[in-house]
Amino acid sequence: MRVLVLSGGRSAEREISLVSAEWVSGELKASGHEVTEVIIEQDGCWMLKGSSGNLSFEAGPIPWKLCSGIKTILFDVVFPVLHGSYGEDGTVQGLCAVAGWPCAGVPVMGAAVAMEKHTLKKLASQVSVPVVPWVFLNENPDNSIESLHEELAALGYPLFVKPSRLGSSVGITKVNTPEELRGAVQTASGYDSLILIEKAVDSAREIEVSVLGNGVRVFSSVPGEVLPGREWYDYKAKYECDESELGIPADLSASQTENIRMMAENTFRLIGGRGFARVDFLMNNHGIWLNEINTIPGFTSISMFPKLWEATGMNSEKLLNFILDEAFSRAEHGLSQ
Ligand SMILES: Nc1ncnc2c1ncn2[C@@H]1O[C@H](COP(=O)(O)OP(=O)(O)O)[C@@H](O)[C@H]1O
Ligand SMILES: [Mg+2]
């Protein structure tokens, strides 16, 4: 297939996207696909990797086209390898839908819901997928830390304060005392006007499951466990700490494994998932809670998402082909979103 791999983007996770896209593009080329790599710059311009000059795009029938001053690029499917806002959040998926381009991965609504942790938690709790208790701050001045005093007291400390629509642990603070709360909210508000204040799960184990779906069936991988080399899985533990490790498969009983896989599949169905995602849970001796669903998870040779599939018997070639075929056949049936 002729695949247009999109990376970069305007979010705080831009750099991670560039690394993920390099791996995805390499693997696609190795399996015989024709790959065009397009980088979305921070100002929103689309650039052909390695060349200067913006690209313009055209809506229209197959084959779809992107044009630069010197070159017309034909492609069969778009593969967004973008993390965070303006990429993983339904915006690029919507752009593709409007243009009529087949687009790999979770469609508009699911991508948008998954990106917004508050909405995802509300939905999940309605279908009995347990989530950690939280309170929510938005731009409404009536909705301040002071006004939420009772709810916050009910949660108890420690707490996690998070921007509602970001990833890679950017802007997240673990708060141990009430005095630290205001500073943590300020940090999070540097990234998002919607903020989640969540009860910290004591001695949390972090269990993750990869999922694939084609609209008829949802498939889940064996669960894996993140063993952060730091107190929690912050940005440093994710990208800079050599001691962070992945335990694959996670050390769980057969019934725990079955339960977690079922919850992962249900969460994917809940958001109308197609294509792929990684569903993350927090767990301790008292329970298991859905933490989040990443519709474009980290995607490199050392990332949990492909490694879990490898451990489930699906190599990267089969994995990427499933994702491309699903996107293409969805578009053929007129279901671009
Ligand atoms: N409620 C919580 N209890 C314990 N640890 C948490 C909690 N929420 C987040 N964390 C820690 O913070 C990390 C990042 O939080 P997460 O919600 O996954 O944000 P991101 O989308 O940035 O990955 C988690 O992997 C975990 O280590
Ligand atoms: Mg996470």
* Among the listed residues 267, 269, 323, the one whose alpha carbon sits nearest the alpha carbon of residue 299: 323
184 Cα to the center of ligand 1, angstroms: 14
- CATH class, domain 134-199, is alpha beta
Q: Hey, whose CA ends up nearest to atom 13 of ligand 1?
A: 233
pTM above 0.85, yes or no: yes
Topology annotation, domain 2-104: Rossmann fold (3.40.50)
Residues 17, 82 contacting (CB under 8 angstroms): yes
Q: Choosing from 165, 205, 261, 278, which is the catalytic residue? A: 278
CATH 3.30.470.20 matches 112-130+202-327: yes
Catalytic residue, from 7, 8, 11, 13: name it.
13
Of the candidates 292, 250, 293, the one whose C-alpha atom is nearest the C-alpha of residue 160 is 292
Rounded to whole angstroms, how far apart are CA atoms 89 and 119? 13
Give nearest CA residue, ligand 1 atom 2.
200
- pLDDT class for 54, splitting at 50, 70, 90? low
DSSP H or E run through 206: strand 205-213
pLDDT digits (tens, 9 = 90+) for 156-202: 999 999 999 988 889 999 999 999 999 999 999 999 999 999 999 99
Burial class (CB in 10 A: 0-12, 13-18, 19+), 215: middle
Which of the ligands is closest to the CA of residue 234? 1
Catalytic residue list contains 41: no
| Domain boundaries, given as residue ranges, for the chain | 2-104, 112-130+202-327, 134-199
327 in helix, strand or coil? helix
Q: How far apart are CA 135 and CA 254, in angstroms?
A: 34
Out of 36-40, 78-82, 317-321, least confident range: 36-40
Q: Could you confirm whether 242 is annotated as catalytic?
A: no
